[in-house]
């Protein structure tokens, strides 16, 4: 049941510890998601919006009803971002996030080196010493694409953190 006293929902960026760390990515790294606290499935529950997948297969946008993120054993941190209006949730929010390009396949098995490596495009690998762009994962999608897109669309509005 939703918290009936709200005309807006608080929105947070959640960081969760990862069970498998990519040795080629700078550490520490956390799985970053956007969490809208709606109370739609109990106290402090809401919707998690994020990308799922990996660098070998590519990622896709995903959303799910979730419990209070602080109850997750992998929980690391919660950062208040602002509020989303009830009128924009979930349809308009999902429309904006669903239009964003999810991180694509960025690594493949290289039969020449017998390793899974970052590639320029599938089948075209970087040469030794060649400059490689940073890989894009959930953190980059959430922080650099999703959150700015929600602010730009006027769906996410800066506010003071609820007490």
Would 51 be classed as within a structural domain? yes
Would 122 be classed as within a structural domain? no
Would 128 be classed as within a structural domain? no
Range of the domain at 80: 8-102+138-157
Query: For the whole model, what pTM was predicted?
Result: 0.91
Would 53 be classed as within a structural domain? yes
Residue 5 has pLDDT above 80, yes or no: no
Query: Which two tokens mark 92?
Result: 């308009």
Would 130 be classed as within a structural domain? no
Distance, in Å, from the CA atom of 67 to the CA atom of 81, rounded to the nearest integer, reads 19
Choose among 99, 100, 82: nearest CA to 154: 82
Q: Tell me, rounded to whole angstroms, the distance of Cα 17 from its chain centroid.
A: 13
pLDDT at 23: 76
- Binning pLDDT at 50, 70 and 90, where does residue 2 land? very low
Query: Which two tokens mark 143?
Result: 């922080």
pLDDT at 106: 96
Percent of the chain with pLDDT over 70: 96
The model's pLDDT over 106-151, given as tens digits with 9 standing for 90+, comes to: 999 999 999 999 999 888 999 999 999 999 999 999 999 999 999 9
Would 28 be classed as within a structural domain? yes
Say if residues 11 and 34 touch (Cβ distance below 8 Å).
yes
Question: How many structural domains comprise the chain?
Answer: 1
CA distances from 106 to 29, 36, 47 (A): 18, 29, 28
Looking at every residue in the chain, the average pLDDT score rounds to 93
């Amino acid at each position: 049941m939703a918290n009936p006293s709200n005309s807006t929902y608080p929105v947070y960026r959640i960081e969760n510890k990862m069970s498998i760390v990519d040795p080629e990515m700078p550490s520490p790294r956390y799985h970053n998601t956007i969490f809208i606290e709606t109370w739609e499935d109990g106290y402090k529950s809401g919707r998690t919006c994020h990308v799922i997948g990996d660098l070998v297969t590519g990622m896709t946008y995903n959303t799910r009803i979730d419990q209070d993120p602080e109850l997750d054993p992998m929980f690391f941190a919660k950062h208040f971002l602002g509020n989303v209006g009830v009128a924009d949730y979930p349809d308009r929010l999902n429309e904006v996030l669903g239009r964003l390009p999810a991180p694509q396949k960025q690594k493949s098995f290289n039969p020449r080196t017998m390793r899974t490596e970052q590639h320029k495009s599938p089948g075209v690998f970087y040469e030794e010493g060649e400059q490689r762009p940073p890989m894009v994962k959930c953190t980059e999608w959430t922080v650099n694409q999703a959150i700015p897109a929600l602010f730009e669309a006027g769906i996410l509005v800066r506010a003071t953190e609820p007490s």
